[in-house]
Every structure is written in C-alpha cells, then in structure tokens.
Structure 1
Amino acid sequence: MEKLSAFPSLAPDEFIEACEHVRRILPDSTLLVGDLPGLRITRRLAAALLVIEAEDDHEPVDVPNRESHEDDVDEEAIIKQPQDETLVTVYYDILLSPSYRVPVVYMTTSPPLPASQFFNLVVPLHFQDAVRGVGVIGALSMTVIVDSWINESC
C-alpha cells in the first residue's frame, strides 16, 4: 500500500484501497458497496446481561447496571442473576465521511443493548476512564445509521 496523500483526509480511492487491504487481513470482514463504500467487521463478543422479568408478563427487560436501577425496579419483579455469558454480535461498519473525508465507524449490536452495556462491551476496560473523560458517554456518539447506506457485497 502506497503512502496516503493527506491523511487523515482520504481520497475515496485511498479509502477503498485501505478497506481492501484490511479485508485481506481480517477473515471476519466484508467489503460494503453502495453510495458509501466501506468495510464491515463482524465480531461475536461475550457479554453478561442482567435480565429482570416481571412476574405477570414474563417478558425480559435488559438492565445495564443493577445498582443504578434498584429503586426503579418493581418489588414484584424477579431478578435473575447474569447469565454466564451471552454472545452478542457487534457490527463495525467503517465508512468514509463524504464531508470530512475521514473514516467513521458505526457500531451496532444484535441483540440491541442499552448505551451503558454497549459502552462496556466495545470499549476495553483500561480505556474506559479516558473515553468517559471526553464527554457525556465518552468519545462515542449515538446516531441512527440508515440501512440503505450499507450494502454488503455479494
């Protein structure tokens, strides 16, 4: 791969070349095609989830942190201890920002997680304090990614 012209501002062809390079290295990645070409990296990560189940409807509700929600929980609810580990699929979609010409990473999970569980899952423990120091939920911002932006290649 040749030297980039003006990193961090990338030309579209430089970005696509970088995505192709990463794709060759990471077996769990897929090139994306469409209006915004990019790369999708798919990882299965273990996450302990605390589930609260109401006695009357038996529909589980994920709660990110037991201590912060103890007062909010219905006294008739049954609190199940965290399952050993639940696998969560994290999709890292790396796209080139058309405005700033820099790579942008969109992360989504399946099943969807509350913001605090998402943060704990994707930010390594030894970086969490530094990331939290950047803002309200750290250097992560929440947005809605339009599915039509991302099309996996065949």
Structure 2
Amino acid sequence: METLSAFPHLTTSEFEDACTTLAARYDQHSLDQNEWQSVELIYQYEAKYLRITKPLQTCTVGRSTDKDQHTRSDEDEDDIEELEDDDDEVLPTTGGLEVLVVYDILLSPVYRVPVLYISIADPQHRYPPTMQTLYEHLIPSNFEAQAQSGGVIGGISIQDHPATNRPVFFIHPCQTAEAMEESVGRRNITAEEYLILWTGALGKCVGLNVPLALMQQNEV
C-alpha cells in the first residue's frame, strides 16, 4: 500500500483501501485476540465504511458516587464485594445474546478524515443514546474529563447516523487532522497505518482499543 497523497487527510480510495485491509487483517488475526467480536465492510449508496463490534463490558448499575461509597454499611460492602467477585466484568445478555457496542468508521466528506459513530445494540433497548449512557457505559473513567472538555477528540455529541438515520454518539473530527500530524510527525505512513493509529488514539476514549494482534506488522 502506497503512502498517503495528502496527509493528514485521506482520499476516498485511500480510506476505502484502508478499511478493506484492516478488515482482512482482522480475518487473519481474529483468533489471536478476544477484544473485537467482528469487523465488517458496509456498503451504502456506493460508499464503503468499516463496522467494528465488541461486547459491552460493563455492569448496568453504572459508576458509584463518592457519596454512595461513604454511606454504605460494612454489611453492604461485604455483599457488594461478594457480588463483584461472582460477576467480574459482567456482560449484559438478552436470551443468551450479548449486548454489543457498534463502532462505525466513515470518511468525513468535509474534513477528509475518519469519523466515529457509536451505538449500543441491545434487543431490550436499555441503553438509549443519551449522555448518561455515554458516561456510564462507554467512556472509561480516566477519559471523562477529556471528553467533557473536548480535548484532542473534538467533543462527543448525539447525531443521526448518515447511513442508518438513527441517533448515535458522534465524535466531531474538527481536531483529527492536527492530532494525527502530532502523532505521526514527519514519517510517511500508509492509509492502513493511518487508520490503525487513528483508531488507537480516538477509540480508547470510548472503550475501543486496537487488539495487539492487529498491530503486528505482518502482511495481510
């Protein structure tokens, strides 16, 4: 794969080639990791984008506040610790089906950089696209302050998905080009390397980490 023609921006063909290559890389290494459940190429109106799914690894109770922690009795703490030991990293299920987080990566026609749309697939609709859902179930606690202030991720809002027209979480790409320039420096990179770096930098803010097996520099 050739180096980018207009870094830090992507052409449509560069983006689609990167999506195709990353999907193929996942097919090759899927059994070497357990973080992502699937990687698919989605075709919509002659356009191509990438969909990554992974189990929702969170308990439905959300985060506890400091006030709650101080007002619990010792007996309550013992009960909670016992429950946590039994249900470590609980995966919410419905009739044996896992609740999934869906990450759609599309190319912004304006900014010419990848953009991330996030939703939770749950048959019981327990995780609506609200900011409460976002902070309780998708954003790791160590990234909360960055998400609230915008930071390098550019801020998160709720918008209609351009392909499905359903309300989803959306990370604005206004600072993506600058962030990629700082991350890559003067190196020449391919579109695939760009997409992996972008996913690693942006995805970790919303619970999407690139599996180590996919970052190996093996030919697909």
TM-score, normalised with respect to structure 2? 0.47
1:130 to 134, 138, 146: 146
Q: Are residues 66 and 128 of structure 1, via their aligned partners in 2, closer, same or farther at CA, if it must alter by over 3 Å?
A: closer
Q: Deviations over 1:75-112 (max 9, x none)?
A: xxxxxx99942253011111111222211111110225
SS of 2:51's partner is: strand
2:161 to 133, 138, 145: 145
Task: Work out the CA distance in 1 between the residues paired with 2:139 and 2:2.
Answer: 31
More helix by share: 2
Task: Work out the CA distance in 1 between the residues paired with 2:44 and 2:150.
Answer: 33
Question: Does structure 1 retain, via aligned residues, the 8 Å contact 2:55–2:100?
Answer: yes
Deviation at 1:119, TM superposition (A): 3.0
Q: Which runs of 5+ in 2 are unaligned?
A: 31-37, 66-79, 93-97, 166-220
Task: Work out the CA distance in 2 between the residues paired with 1:47 and 1:117.
Answer: 11
1:115 aligns to what? 131
Q: Are residues 146 and 23 of structure 1, via their aligned partners in 2, closer, same or farther at CA, if it must alter by over 3 Å?
A: same
Aligned residues: 122
1:88 aligns to what? 99
Task: Work out the CA distance in 1 between the residues paired with 2:41 and 2:132.
Answer: 29
SS of 1:106's partner is: strand
Question: Does structure 2 retain, via aligned residues, the 8 Å contact 1:47–1:88?
Answer: no
SS of 1:108's partner is: strand
Give aligned-pair identity as a percent: 32
TM-score, normalised with respect to structure 1? 0.64
Question: Does structure 1 retain, via aligned residues, the 8 Å contact 2:44–2:163?
Answer: no
Question: Does structure 1 retain, via aligned residues, the 8 Å contact 2:107–2:115?
Answer: yes
More strand by share: 1
| AA at the equivalent of 1:42 | T
**Where do 1:2-151 residues align within 5 Å?**
2-26=2-26, 27=30, 28-35=38-45, 36-50=47-61, 84=87, 85=90, 86=92, 87-111=98-122, 112=125, 113=127, 114-134=130-150, 139-148=155-164
C-alpha RMSD over aligned residues: 2.9
Task: List structure 1 segments (4+ residues) > 6 angstroms apart after TM superposition.
Answer: none
Task: Work out the CA distance in 1 between the residues paired with 2:156 and 2:13.
Answer: 27
